Every structure is written in C-alpha cells, then in structure tokens.
Amino acid sequence: MSSRIGKEKLIPLLYFLGTILAGSLLLVLPISSKEGSLSYLDALFEATSAVCVTGLAVIDTTKLSRFGQTVIILLIQLGGLGIVTFSTLYIFMPRRRVSVTTHGMIRDYTLSSVEYRTRRTIREIVGWTFGFELIASLVIWPTLARNGYSFYDAIFHSISAFCNAGFSTLQSGMESFRDNVILNVVTMLLIVFGGIGFIVLQDMARFFKKEKRHLSYHSLVVLRTTSALIVLGAIVFYLLEHNHAYKEMSQGSKIMAAFFQSITSRTCGFDTVPQANLSGSSQLATIILMFIGASPGSTGGGIKTVTLYILILVAFRMREGGDTIIDRYRTVTPNTVFKAITALVRGAIIVLFATAILLVAERASGHTIGLETAVFECVSAFGTVGLSIGITPYLTAVSKLVLIAAMFMGRAGLFVLAIPPSKYSPEPFAKYPRADVLL
C-alpha cells in the first residue's frame, strides 16, 4: 500500500514535467517568436516559468507572436489551476471509485471537504477560475481599449493575475498603468483571490450562502494572516518609499503603489514600480514576503501563510515541555508543527543552494552580481513570484538552469520531497532510547 501511495504522489509531478516539456517544444518553434526562434534553454525557461506561474522571463512577452503568447497563457492556466486540482482530476476522473489511499493523498492537500464532495470541488475550482478571469476581463477591457489594447490582452492579463503568474502583453507591464485605479484594484483583487486558495473560497461561498454557520479554522487563519501581511507590507513600503521610489507620485498613487507592492510580492510578478528602483530595505521586505508566499491550495508558491502562522504560534505560544498548542479553542498537533518546520527548512535549503550555485556560476563567467541580487532572484523563483531586479535575461546558462530548478521545486518540489521511498523498512517492535539534547 505504501508503494502505491508513492506512485500516486508522482502523478502531479509527471503532469507538471510533461506540460513543461510540451510547452518548451512549442515555444522553440519559429512561429512562437516575432524575432527568430528562441534557444531551447530560453524556451524551457519560459515554459517552466509559465507552468509554475512564476513570471520570471528571459524574453519580453510582447516579443512573442500571438501563437507564442497563447502557448504561454495556456501553460499559465494549466499550471495556475494548481497541484490540488490537477492531482485530484488526474486521479479521480479515470475511475468511478476513489481508493482509500487516493483519498488519503488528496486530503493531505485539500482538507476533509474533498472526502464526500470531490466532484463538486473540482467543478467549483474550474468554474470559479474561469468566472473570475472572465468577469475581470470584461471590467478592465474598456481601460485597456482606450490605450490601444484588444480583448485578448484583457483576457491574458486577467488569467495571468488570477493565476499569480505576472506575465504581461502590456508594454512596460503594469508600470505604465501605475496611476490607473481600475486596473490596479482589479489586478490586486485577482491576485488576492487566486492566492488565498480554492478551499477558502469554497468555504467562504458556503458561509455567505448560509450553508454553514462558521468559517473553518483553516479559512480564518488564511484570511487573518493574508490581511495582516497585506496591511503591514503596505505600511512598510509606504514609509520606506514615499520619499524615494514613490517621490514623484500623488498621495493616492503612493498608497496604491504600496498596497500593490505588498500584494504582488507574495504571489505575483507584476509591479507598478521597477524593483531596481526600490531601496535596499524595501527589497529585503520584498524577499521576506516572496519567501512566505501565498496560501495552501492556491495558485501561488512560497512556504505558505499557514506555515508562517503555525511558526509564530510555536515561537510565542508553545509552552516549555508541552507538545501541543491551543489556539482559538483548537489544538494544533505536533504533526502540524513538524510540517510547518519542514516547509520552512526545505524552502531555506532550496534558496541557499540555488543562491550559492548562481553566485559561483556568474563569477566563473566573469559576470559578478551582488549577494542581495542573487538572493532576490532565487527567492522569487522558489516562491514562484516572478519579480526581478532585471538580471534574468543576462544570466549564464547554468544560472538559468538553477532558476528553472528553483521554480520547479517551489511549485512541485513539495511533492518531490514528500514522495516516500519505494521500499519501507518494517516497523520495529522495540523502542529506541530517547535522544536528549540541549537547545
């Protein structure tokens, strides 16, 4: 049974690998670019970034042909629906019955609501995704049309924003619309809704329909943590940049830019102010938010907001000698704490290794970059955010491969690291002595 679980956890991994490979083969075709064929490495980078809904790019999306842009947006859509959706679809659809082991695997990522309503969950995820994207496209279309863009650009932007991807067919991206309230607000709402997770959206819908009296503990944690990060981040960016990068803006534009930076830093690659223009303090704040990322079961990456919440509980609520935490009349089990710590450590290891290799590779090529720049790019890749200080197109082949690996690990890496070995040792009957250490 254990080996079977391992094989089933490989399915989403193989899905993402297959989608990336297919996308790279399409993007390398001459028809995908306006200015000659992409190299396969650049095509692979773009495909990985799109499927992993990251937004880091080695070529401006506006330089791709309409065919190439369509490939990108399809890859974003397929990746943006999330590991939860596609693992559930891939496992559930080919069979009428769902095995106990399959349910166990799905529940690891979707909580208990999937147990009896798997089909309904899938329908709602797909329906809400298309619904949010279509409504947003219709709202922003008049604004874009006045600036010479088509409905295709509105659809592309909406899909990219809701899937937290950050690719754009707009010249200079959102930077040329930093004072436009409608486009900024709609984009921020799409990023937030895409980043809080479908399970939370489902829970909220049932709550407002009065199908249930209270939001789940998970939903409350996600909503509170997300709100706190958005508000605190906006305050930090406003204070740090109102006389620096935001100096020439009106007061209203400064506030809007601060909120946009706070929201996009955790999940998406859009920016209304170039990241290179921000102060070092703001870039550090951005790195922290990118590492935290979005919420479980969402289109975003990072170590997740719930992980941050649990780690804060561990730091400030864990009693000396205790093994459980009580929060809002709920018991946070040691297993949940271990998962949070595991996510933090794995994320840190991926970023550290990626940063070290990138620095060595760039120095070996004679192109030295600063530590803070390397950390920024690697955290952006791991968190599948897509913000960049502007060095991505100029990196060496080795560094691009490092970022490709970081993006993939940030998006599907938890599956890779969580896959159990093909063979297990039998459970020992004897208990080993306790390991006593001083911390």
Amino acid at 164: N
Q: Per-residue pLDDT for 361 more than 50?
A: yes
Residues 6 or more apart whose CB falls under 8 angstroms from that of 80 comprise: 53, 129, 159, 162, 163, 164, 165, 194, 299
**What is the DSSP secondary structure assignment for residue 176, as one 8-state letter?**
G
Q: Per-residue pLDDT for 324 more than 80?
A: no
Please give the residue that has the higher pLDDT: either 428 or 267.
Answer: 267
Of the listed ranges 20-34, 55-69, 189-203, the least confidently predicted one is 189-203
Arithmetic mean of pLDDT, 236-249: 95
Of the listed ranges 135-144, 161-170, 205-214, 264-273, the least confidently predicted one is 205-214
Arithmetic mean of pLDDT, 142-154: 95
Q: Which of the residue ranges 11-25, 120-134, 253-267, 405-419 has the most confident prediction, judged by mean pLDDT? A: 253-267
Q: Give the pLDDT score at 35.
A: 83
Q: Per-residue pLDDT for 95 more than 60?
A: no
Please give the residue that has the higher pLDDT: either 49 or 202.
Answer: 49
pLDDT in tens, 99-124: 544 455 444 444 554 444 566 777 77
The token pair that represents 325 in the structure block: 């935490």
Please give the residue that has the higher pLDDT: either 94 or 337.
Answer: 337
Q: Give the pLDDT score at 14.
A: 81
How many percent of the chain have pLDDT more than 70? 83
Please give the residue that has the higher pLDDT: either 290 or 419.
Answer: 290
Could you tell me which residues are beta bridge partners of residue 26? none
Q: Give the pLDDT score at 413.
A: 67
Q: What band does 128 get if pLDDT is binned at 50, 70 and 90?
A: confident
